Amino acid sequence: MTIPFFQVDAFTSKPFGGNPAAVCLLDNWPADELLGSIAAENNLSETAFLVPSRTREADYELRWFTPEIEVDLCGHATLASGHVALRHLRPDAEAVSFSTRSGVLRVHREATGSLRMDLPADPREAGHEPAIAAILGNEPLALLGGSTWIAVLPSASEVESLDPDIGQVAALQVPYLNVTGPGDPDSGVDFVSRFFAPGAGIDEDPVTGSAHCALTPYWAGRLGRSRLRARQVSARGGEVDCELVGERVLLRGTCAEVIEGHLTLSPL
């Protein structure tokens, strides 16, 4: 079996920044075990798999795997998949659509050269988890619950300098921690964040598109604006342009394609 393969750095304009995702092009779905093995072999935070859609609902079916699990939504690998589809598969199209576990997601070209994703908003309510204060070394300004804990800190510098014990994060009932704070006034950034996901086998994710589906509603409400500029301040770092539109979040970003080739698998 030979599988066309791309590695794309998402939410960055330069190679070796942003968040790398593998994008694999398939004719049909093999066993889930094989998809998981390919993702584990790639050992990136996400591997995306595309199959031509069997219905008119979307252009492709899209699934995402970490090295350990399949996930319900991945923003950066959707952006990378949109990049591959619009550059290599549908170069004359203005948009591409994907049928996923999170509904139909669309990626559009923008005149600026960016790509725009249309994702479901994920507003959160206040939660309570005493262990997070110990992990952070202080009580957060706010703590929002859900599929991921969101802890709000007073400043960007506190988010950047945070060095949490990943074992403690993994021990949380929900082993995912998204830490955010306001951007520095002169940075041109409205808010910053970092994302720790040992529950998915990822100590720290470089740039997490899906996290901004929850961060955007929070910061839009706090700052009183629907269009926001965000930076994920991981070691690789990445820029995300966010916009809240009703119950949807539009995320804009660029991609840098760094590898194109094939996976060659001998008979299993």
Q: What angle do CA 192, 253, 226 make, to 5 degrees?
A: 60
Contact in structure between 255 and 8 (CB atoms under 8 Å): yes
Contact in structure between 119 and 248 (CB atoms under 8 Å): yes
Please state, in angstroms and rounded to a whole number, the distance separating the CA atoms of residues 43 and 27.
23
Please state, in angstroms and rounded to a whole number, the distance separating the CA atoms of residues 80 and 146.
26
Backbone angles phi, psi at 144, to 5 degrees: -110, 135
Residue 46 annotated in active site:
yes
Give the 3-state secondary structure of residue 157. helix
Q: Which residues contact 264 (CB under 8 A, 6 or more apart)?
A: 1, 2, 3
Please state, in angstroms and rounded to a whole number, the distance separating the CA atoms of residues 139 and 174.
18
Q: Are strands 149-152 and 177-182 parallel, antiparallel or unpaired?
A: parallel
Contact in structure between 180 and 240 (CB atoms under 8 Å): no
Q: Catalytic one among 33, 46, 125, 139? A: 46
Tell me 229's DSSP state: E
Rg (CA), the chain: 18
Helix locations, 137-211, DSSP H: 156-161, 166-170
Which residues carry out catalysis?
46
